[in-house]
Copies of this chain bind each other. A is one copy, B any other.
């Protein structure tokens, strides 16, 4: 098989300790020995065995990214590709590898316990914040380093990155109101996700601040598919004629648009999606959406985590990533105020 430290040591005529120290750039090694050792390494094409190293070091230089189970959470694929990209970019630059997984049948906690207990990884990136999250509690208890993409309920010491979900929806809602819209429907995700409640709160507060009555009949709170969104839109239309619909994912927004088109209301109702997926610019009317900059979320999540792993001082435990409202045709609906 391939060369080990012992081989290098033998060839260079030193002990393995010395080889190890050369590798670590230990100052107490004379330049000549270092050169001799490095020569030997070259000759043998030596590469240190990371596993052995990890065992000794208690560090694997690997971080895990836990995605939601795609089966139960089919939305937001583009979000994850981009987040992965951001994480990888930062991680690789600092010598870390990325272990990617998702629950799939097993409950998420089981996976986490396995990952943590087996000592395979140094830290974890979680991609959602749930109410009473057992995983966060577990990681907290075992003091296992982690960072979460999302806004934790207890956000004092946890590392996290997130968009200002409350703020962006507040702003969008306000804007819609100022443009003369009154009946604004809201299709959000499940209530136990913080991202959902934050966004809905932004929506609710904007209505309240502008003295618009809140109508629970046009507020939906589940994760669903394009077709269920279409279905719900039909219900909404049966109930009343909305001025605008905010959907927290482009896929849902597409479902909304579909029903609106079918009922010839495509240009009467403002529709706004989230995540600025590729489709948004190609549908007609093109879909206004919110770019959440998933790549940056991933990048900074990795940054917080790895900085922590390296024991470097951290000036902050969280970062807010700018989300940008991208206006397209779907929300440019004339409305006489």
Which A positions have Cβ atoms within 8 angstroms of B? 2, 47-52, 54-55, 60, 62, 70, 77-78, 80-81, 84-85, 88-89, 92, 97-102, 104, 113-114, 117-120, 142, 251, 254, 277-279, 282-284
What separation, in Å, do the CA atoms of A65 and B305 have in the docked complex?
Answer: 23
Pick from B62, B81, B99: contact of A77, CB under 8 Å: B81
Smallest CB–CB gap between A315 and chain B, Å? 27
B81/A119 in contact, CB under 8 A: no
What separation, in Å, do the CA atoms of A92 and B50 have in the docked complex?
Answer: 23
What separation, in Å, do the CA atoms of A49 and B120 have in the docked complex?
Answer: 8
State the number of copies, please: 2
Known pairs A88-B101, A97-B99; list 14 more (Cβ under 8 Å): A49-B119, A51-B60, A51-B120, A62-B120, A70-B85, A80-B81, A81-B81, A88-B100, A89-B104, A97-B101, A99-B99, A99-B100, A251-B278, A278-B278
B102/A88 in contact, CB under 8 A: yes
What separation, in Å, do the CA atoms of A254 and B281 have in the docked complex?
Answer: 11
A-B contact pairs, 30 of them (CB 8 A): A2-B117, A2-B142, A47-B113, A47-B114, A47-B117, A47-B118, A48-B118, A49-B55, A49-B118, A51-B51, A51-B54, A51-B60, A51-B118, A51-B119, A51-B120, A52-B55, A62-B99, A70-B85, A77-B78, A88-B101, A92-B101, A97-B99, A98-B99, A98-B100, A99-B99, A277-B278, A279-B279, A279-B282, A282-B283, A284-B284
